Amino acid sequence: MKTIQFREAVCEAMSEEMRRDESIYLMGEEVAEYNGAYKASKGMLDEFGPKRVIDTPIAELGFAGIAVGSTMTGNRPIVEYMTFNFSLVGIDQIINNAAKIRQMSGGQFKCPIVFRGPTASAGQLGATHSQAFESWFANTPGLKVVVPSNPYDAKGLLKSAIRDDDPVIFMESEQMYGDKGEVPEGEYTIPLGVAEVKREGTDVTIVSFGKIIKEAYTAADELAKEGISCEIIDLRTVRPMDQETILKSVKKTNRLVVLEEAWPFGNVSTEITYIVQSKAFDYLDAPIVKINTADTPAPYSPVLLAEWLPNSDDVIKAVKKVLYK
């Protein structure tokens, strides 16, 4: 094993796959000459050249369309958005073309493409640069949605996403690129659609994904001091969702808290809540509690932003609520 940063895990995954398959290329703003806005493509221009690592204008709709079209001529593009907030400019290409090509062509064309970049908040970036769109994309048939929380998962999942023959939304975080973690020296992949129990427990199940899961780990450490045992599941892939891992855990602990950095209406945690109450209702000893952001655009003020975001104290309160403590 070796210890690398999240950004290095992303770079390694892309580089290894591009060495393996010449039809893969990377396209986006500042991915080439600048080595990536977050240095996640450092050194790739030097290795693969400007035909496979392509700097684009600030025109997300345009380069998303070029990339989607190129899949129909045998290419496997990776499109980097500087943030998924900017993907809204090109979302027509993602929702109306990438997600629908296979069906609308009667299976004649597949669309092997990865759209990747950071999601959700990253400090004081204002309301328009602090949004989580996992549930938006996950609502769309034809798209797979992946949100890793550590370097090991990021590398293994990104390699699988690049090899997938359907469009994959791969969502990172500006606040995770410097995170360090152990990654195998050799080749490995992690299958899409498989969650992982990151921490075994007996009293309550906490389901989360992405960078906000760190708040669940912090809360679990504090709760352990009070004798409360938390089982933490990292979804890793939002769609397809690993329902079985969630249901198995809930049947063991009989209580569920879902932590997600997203607006509270119609999000991923809402879907998890529905799945569990419909398939494991008789196992529940308390109502499910979901923890989300406030139902407002993200504030710029650091004081208000801290109140807006879910934190470990919110998780502790939720766990004690489902335990009636």
**Which residues are the active-site residues?**
60, 129
Peptide bond into 310 cis (omega under 30): no
Residues 6 or more apart whose Cβ sits within 8 Å of residue 102:
109, 110, 111, 142, 166
Contact 154, 9 (CB under 8 A): yes
CB of 147 closer than 8 Å to CB of 171: yes
Determine the residue type at 314.
D
- DSSP sequence for 27-85: EETTSSTTS-TTSTTTTHHHHH-TTTEEE--S-HHHHHHHHHHHHTTT-EEEEE-SSTT
